[in-house]
Amino acid sequence: MTRFLIRRILQGILVMWLVTVVVFILFFVGPGPNSVARTLAGKSATPAIIADVKRRLLLNESIPAQYWHFIWLLLHGNLGYSFYHGQSVNSIIAAAFPITLSLVIGASVLWLIMGVLSGVLSAVRARSFADRAFTGLALLFYSMPTFVLGLLFLLLFYYELTIHGVNAFPGSGFTPLTTNPFQWFRGLVLPWFTLALVSAATYTRLTRGSMLDVMGEDYIRTARAKGLSERRVIFRHSLRAALTPIVTQFGLDVGILLGGAVITEYVFGMPGLGFTAVQAITEQDRPVIIGVVIVTSAAVVLANIVVDAFYAVLDPRVRMH
């Protein structure tokens, strides 16, 4: 198990190194230090700011020296400096990341519970009314764009309730957990369900398909023949064997959303990573874009390492590959 995890971690480090190489080539290797400095400084940069960029990033040095300086800063947790906002990229991402993390954790718990349970019920009662109902709902939400569902929630649970004197949910914004836990929860309920309902549809269909495949295996019939309870057969044997594709999908979804649930954050006015990235692209704030790319890549790599670890727990045969 330890050797398996070490191999996966080393592969993750290799992927992150490749990401830094690509990012460096895209943003730092240009026609000359003046052009690169002007690009990184932003569209409204003054000559003094451009000169400061060249000094900070060693743009008058050789390409290898610039890359080593870039890597050295990243290894020390320094994501750069936003000359457009006049503050470090670390502080910008530190303000945005907890918002996205709160959104993703809550939504992922909801969609995993709703998707897996409805998928199990659909598989156990295949071709029943419940199966058709869950499959139909999954298709409905899977086909619905996230922004449409978010706006619909705002219309029904914010606008309509507010005009009738019920202030159940805020329309936008984010309250830190440490400031007011109740307001934090209240402000995230609608965004959570917006993401969860759309994502749960995938897990319903995935769980149903995997469960139906597994429940036809010989060892499941053997478990029933030995007199094991149906609940134990379903949750201890069938579901565990069917979890591999679900864990894969979950790891990918969480990793990608940690990079920024752009649409949901915009609809609900939450300045998370996705919102920050879109704003940086609009403002041509390259250092912030670089920081978001690095953090997003790290989140995806970390999610995949965790998924591989779960694989090894669910199926020991995975450790041999």
Q: Is the domain of 36 the same as that of 125?
A: no
> Above pLDDT 70, what percent of the chain?
93
pLDDT per residue as tens digits for the range 132-150: 888 888 888 888 888 888 8
Residues 146 and 161 occupy one common structural domain = yes
Instruction: Using pLDDT thresholds of 50, 70 and 90, give the confidence band for residue 91.
Output: very high
How many CB atoms sit inside 10 A of residue 241's CB?
18
Residue 294 contacts residue 307 (beta carbons within 8 Å): no
What does the pLDDT read at residue 283? 82
pLDDT of residue 63: 85
* pLDDT for residue 4 is more than 70: yes
Q: Which of 47, 69, 89 is the last residue of a domain?
A: 89
* Mean pLDDT of the region 111-129: 85
Is residue 97 domain-shared with residue 75, that is, in the same domain?
no
Residue 316 CA: distances (Å) to CA of 170, 242, 310, 313: 47, 15, 10, 6
pLDDT at 318 over 60: no
Burial class (CB in 10 A: 0-12, 13-18, 19+), 24: middle
Shared domain for 140 and 51, answered yes or no, is: no
* Chain position carrying tokens 């669910």: 314
The DSSP code for 81 is E
Which residues make Cβ contacts (< 8 Å) with residue 279, sequence separation at least 6?
A: 285
The structural domain count of the chain equals 2
Residues 83 and 127 in one domain: no
End-to-end CA distance of the chain: 11
Q: Say which residues have a Cβ less than 8 Å from residue 170's Cβ, sequence separation at least 6.
A: 158, 183, 186, 187
Helix axis angle, 2-28 to 33-41, nearest 10°: 110
| 104 and 84 together in one domain | no
Based on the fold, state whether residues 74 and 109 are members of the same structural domain: no
Say which CATH number the domain at 257 has: 1.10.3720.10
Q: How many CA atoms lie within 13 A of 207 on its CB side?
A: 30
Give me the domain span that covers residue 112.
92-320
pLDDT of residue 192: 92
- pLDDT on residue 285: 84
For residue 167, the 8-state DSSP code is: -
Nearest to 304, CA basis, from 258, 269, 239, 235: 258
Share of the chain above pLDDT 90, in %: 10
Q: Residue 101 in contact with residue 117, Cβ under 8 Å?
A: no
Residue 294 has what pLDDT?
92
- pLDDT of residue 321 exceeding 60: no
Whether pLDDT at 129 is above 80? yes
Which pLDDT does position 302 carry in this prediction?
A: 87
76 with 166, same domain: the answer is: no
Q: Residue with structure tokens 């999954």?
A: 138
Is residue 155 domain-shared with residue 248, that is, in the same domain?
A: yes
User: Using an 8 Å Cβ cutoff, are 237 and 223 in contact?
Assistant: yes
Q: What is the pLDDT of residue 126?
A: 78
Residue closest to 192 by CA, chosen among 265, 277, 295: 265
Do 73 and 142 fall into the same domain?
A: no
pLDDT digits (tens, 9 = 90+) for 268-278: 888 888 888 88
DSSP type of residue 260: -
Domain boundary at 43, 70, 89, which?
89
* Residue 19: predicted pLDDT: 93
161 and 240 share a domain? yes
Q: Where in the chain does DSSP place strands (E)?
A: 81-82, 87-88
Summary mean pLDDT of the chain: 83
C-alpha 33 chain-centroid distance: 35
Q: Is the dihedral of CA 153, 158, 164, 168 positive or negative?
A: positive
Residue 58 and residue 196 in one domain: no
Boundary (domain end) residue, out of 53, 68, 89: 89
The residue assigned the tokens 């290797």 is 29
Give tens-digit pLDDT for 192-222.
Answer: 999 888 888 888 888 888 888 877 777 777 7
User: How many CB atoms within 10 Å of residue 30?
Assistant: 16
Q: How far are the Cα atoms of 179, 276, 277 from residue 83, in angstroms, in the given order? A: 30, 15, 15
Q: What is the pLDDT of residues 236-282, one digit of tens each?
A: 767 777 777 888 888 888 877 876 678 888 888 888 888 888 888 88
| 118 CB-near residues (< 8 Å, 6+ apart) | 134, 137, 138, 200, 204, 207
